[in-house]
Structure 1
């Protein structure tokens, strides 16, 4: 109250001045030039009458000049565009008129002067409404959310509230607007400053409802149009349920792009603008933003919940659900900050509900994946001991899941991990100790791969030739290791896991060599340089020819797609055969070559053997896969 009385004294008692340099709250609005005019006299007007008379004298010419119904000039011209200095004077007149009316009404609420002032105030407010509407509508391009987020921030708007909270209300508005106009040339900042100047004047004068109505209509249309242009539409549960996955997948992709733009730019920019324009009134600011943003934000944040509830639960769809879950999780701090008031709790609640429903659907899809994997029962061996389509599909799926390991940790936090007893004792390395237990999410990935390895062990038993079974296991385990090393699985499973399984690949490869090539290796004497009878030499050559031809013919069907494993196998086999055979060949070839039909006895030179070994493991033709696993991961 003390501050109000001081302000009134300034209006009434300051010396009159017509200096053009006077600010909006300068003494130029003083009602009297000398304190002697306030001396008490029964015949003179009361103090409030004097205040009202002087205020009307100062305000009426300015306000009537800009009455939209008075002249064509006032009707078509923008006050704020035409003269910002005059606009400030106009705002100052409205403030003074409102104060004088308030002061005068305490003495005489039915005064003719009060009626006149009220009529004048209505004219002024119509002008301000017109200006407010024009600035909002004509500056749509400069007040779009992207421009707003570029030139301002919600934090700066909040901080400016505390910066000026100790100053006179009317002084604060004009100073802030003046600084914005004089210091910042950007059109967006100028428009924002003008809107705030008008809004605070109208709110202070009791016309908040009229101001807010204009703001809501224009700004809500901008948000609704933006949501539509972002291809986010309101869908019912039945519409989503009936939708083909290809169509729904496209809509989810649209939503993912839209969510990023809507949160970072659209709603954030609108929040900044609303905070700036209605800085002086918390309740108006919050209710206004809520009404503007509620419809669009509810459409945006309800879509994931509808998808989670109504799309068919299958493993390949989990990645779209994970993308939406991740989007909400990543944007949650921004969502909380933008929709922070109690009136916006329904929006936050909807975003959280979608987040939770997505988590439930993801858990269901992962459980379905594990069930499908455990039930897979194809028995037809892969030709040439190559990589099984189950290995390819499962590892593609699991490596993609590993990209979401952080959010999966949250999603699966309440689901019990596989029991350690279900994993082999040495399945994990350094991570699986009492001092440093393996993370739950790592155990889950290890469990899925273990199920795959068990399935592959079962499929290896369907090979009639044991050497092919071991080559099959070596091929598939090598493929798994390569996928682990080249993905986030490397960090989840650890180097010890990889090292242990690389050792298993070597064991499988060694068993393949032993079972598939031992009869060739053993056909050459352990002491190839020892003296032998011609007949014995002949028998050894024949035995080598037969065993090598048989092994090469059978194993030329084998396929090893991994170049490292293929080279390792060829080098290892060659090292076990070639040195001994070369020594034997060089030592005893001349013994046979003199005989008749020697070409039928000595059929392979060491170079011939080397060439034929180098051609192994490419397979005779491109092998076709017959996919029988019930899902194929896609993104």
Structure 2
């Protein structure tokens, strides 16, 4: 028999209640008139009812020829249909102690009765004779009223905790997450509070006994052939519950592609942060909770539960992917890298929450495609860093040989990027799998002969032991930075300042790498040793270019021909020393060494070379100068004065000469 669809059950609900009650009473009267002597409120009476109905069902199933009508129908059959209807009237009576879910024995008998009347209806419908139409209509009507009651009860139970204000029309399914937030700025506290408080284990927060009743109702409706109605009630209730959960967490509208493209980065960053929070909530709270609920409610109907869960998850995931797709197509720029990496990781974390029977294969495929597109954006943005370095061809040197802004920018960029090392390894690994190959840049101008034994090459790439796609990319950036800095050093006419500039930048790169375990892990200890060697080399070159001139003034060569002091030449040496030292001090006190350790190392090394040589020279030859004005004229500085002035070097102080001791 073709059953009446659930959306037509309203006609049963709109019938006059007195008529239904009267029918139920008529059933009881008919039951009495037929002489039955059992009580449906008594456990033994219920057992007898069930036994008689089951016996009749066995008789029906044993009849092979169903083309003729039934010769006789036991009294219990029409009476049983009335009993079911009377139970519905009882539950709808409004009495608190007669509500469904209050008395376990009543509920169990009622649900079992519904399953029996469903079997009766199906069995009677197999007989083609018109003599049984009245009886069939009677059982069918009772079954439909029972299903309408269970449908309402199922909805009440589902909506009892997450009650939603009005239904969301089916045509708006795809936009059910589109709602406004109260706040203009993203707030992670709502999500974090729930995760920290353990609410993820309590979502959805239905008591155990409520879930058990949902399970009994779903089992009965599906058994009776009303799977579609059960499906619809569950689907719309849980869909609206998720929508309300999002509203509670104060999430903004999930924007479409046109809106995303028009946004400034500041606006888009806010939306990305909000989106990441949505994904986090779905991954850690909503989807696991929905999976647990579906598994419990549809424990006896796994396929139905999985199908429902797939459709609920699909709606949310597609909405999230729409935003991810739009963001991936937005204009790319360096500052977007880290938010894109956060999105990439969020989508990766979403996969375990949906990566089983809870998500259709096509949705999983779309998630994977969205991850790939975000990954492509990440690669593109990171590779743009190479272009930024190459295109930085400013012709104005940094004052005082200080650390170049490009060096600071690149190293800080790498520091934060390497915090996403594992993610970037996946991203670049995927690109490598697609056939993209590494092409090393041109090595910088330092030759291998300039380096000590612990480093055989100036080229960063050649110091790598474990070459992964991402580490190669980082080395590429490092190589390009070295080449760029070497070119910028040539902007300084003073060779000493050129060496100081390279030393400053090299030391900054080294210290940043040592202070960031992620960079050091990528580059390796060999690279750090090589970088230290390069910095020492620049230090030696600086000292040679600057202070060898001073030491040359303090040479004894030519001052003692035939064992006698050449006074004119001695006086000239003192004058040249004073002039040379003044020039060096005047210039280099304005030079900048911001790294305190490097500054200290430079001063100590200079003092260690200059002070002993100057003290020995003065001590050896001052006796050959006339005391008084002549000595003051040629011995302008005492060794202690030189030592004090050296301590004033590299501070970037343009007025440092005024502090000179005399």
TM (normalized to structure 2)? 0.74
Is 1:556–2:578 an aligned residue pair?
Answer: no
Q: Is the 8 A contact 1:230 1:254 kept in 2?
A: no
- The number of equivalent residue pairs is 556
Higher relative contact order (CA 8 A, sep 6+): 1
Q: Which residue pairs with 1:440 in the alignment?
A: 469
Q: Which residue pairs with 1:3 in the alignment?
A: none
Q: Where do residues 500-515 of structure 1 align in structure 2 (5 Å cutoff)? A: 500-515=530-545
Displacement of 1:196 after TM fit? Answer: 0.9
Q: Is the 8 A contact 1:471 1:508 kept in 2?
A: yes
Q: Which residue pairs with 2:260 in the alignment?
A: 240
Deviations 1:455-476 (A, max 9, x none): 1111111111111011101111
Deviates more, 1:346-355 or 1:606-615: 346-355
Deviates more, 1:374-383 or 1:484-493: 484-493
Is 1:29–2:50 an aligned residue pair?
Answer: yes
Distance 1:429 1:542 in 2: 46
Displacement of 1:378 after TM fit? Answer: 0.3
Is 1:139–2:155 an aligned residue pair?
Answer: no
Distance 2:525 2:547 in 1: 32
Distance 1:523 1:116 in 2: 123
> 1:326/1:152 Cα in 2 relative to 1: closer, same or farther (>3 Å)?
closer
Deviates more, 1:474-483 or 1:114-123: 114-123
CA RMSD of aligned residues (A): 3.9
Q: Which residue pairs with 1:328 in the alignment?
A: 347
Out of 352, 364, 370, the residue aligned to residue 348 of structure 1 is 364
> 1:128/1:77 Cα in 2 relative to 1: closer, same or farther (>3 Å)?
farther
Deviates more, 1:474-483 or 1:220-229: 220-229
Out of 269, 292, 307, the residue aligned to residue 249 of structure 1 is 269
Distance 1:534 1:46 in 2: 146
Distance 1:219 1:570 in 2: 72
Out of 518, 528, 533, the residue aligned to residue 498 of structure 1 is 528
Distance 1:34 1:120 in 2: 20
Q: Which residue pairs with 1:426 in the alignment?
A: 457
Partner of 1:262, secondary structure, is: helix
Q: Which residue pairs with 1:176 in the alignment?
A: none
Q: Is the 8 A contact 1:227 1:296 kept in 2?
A: no
Is 1:73–2:101 an aligned residue pair?
Answer: no
Is 1:264–2:284 an aligned residue pair?
Answer: yes
Q: Is the 8 A contact 1:556 1:620 kept in 2?
A: yes
Is 1:484–2:503 an aligned residue pair?
Answer: no
> 1:576/1:429 Cα in 2 relative to 1: closer, same or farther (>3 Å)?
same
> 1:445/1:123 Cα in 2 relative to 1: closer, same or farther (>3 Å)?
same
Q: Which residue pairs with 2:650 in the alignment?
A: 617
Deviations 1:297-316 (A, max 9, x none): 2111221111111x112222
Out of 369, 373, 391, the residue aligned to residue 375 of structure 1 is 391
Q: Is the 8 A contact 1:19 1:28 kept in 2?
A: no
Deviations 1:516-558 (A, max 9, x none): 2222222224699999577766554444332222211111011
> 1:112/1:384 Cα in 2 relative to 1: closer, same or farther (>3 Å)?
same
Partner of 2:553, secondary structure, is: coil
Out of 303, 310, 326, the residue aligned to residue 306 of structure 1 is 326
Distance 1:329 1:91 in 2: 44
Distance 1:71 1:316 in 2: 63
Partner of 1:73, secondary structure, is: coil
Q: Is the 8 A contact 1:387 1:472 kept in 2?
A: yes
Is 1:456–2:485 an aligned residue pair?
Answer: yes
Out of 410, 414, 419, the residue aligned to residue 394 of structure 1 is 410
> 1:431/1:259 Cα in 2 relative to 1: closer, same or farther (>3 Å)?
farther
Q: Which residue pairs with 1:474 in the alignment?
A: 503
Partner of 1:31, secondary structure, is: helix
Displacement of 1:195 after TM fit? Answer: 0.5
Distance 1:507 1:33 in 2: 98
Is 1:116–2:138 an aligned residue pair?
Answer: yes
> 1:136/1:148 Cα in 2 relative to 1: closer, same or farther (>3 Å)?
farther
Is 1:602–2:635 an aligned residue pair?
Answer: yes
Distance 2:648 2:482 in 1: 29
Is 1:417–2:437 an aligned residue pair?
Answer: yes
> 1:439/1:534 Cα in 2 relative to 1: closer, same or farther (>3 Å)?
same
Deviations 1:142-189 (A, max 9, x none): 9x9988952699xxxxxxxxxxxxxxxxxxxxxxxxxxxxxxxx9532
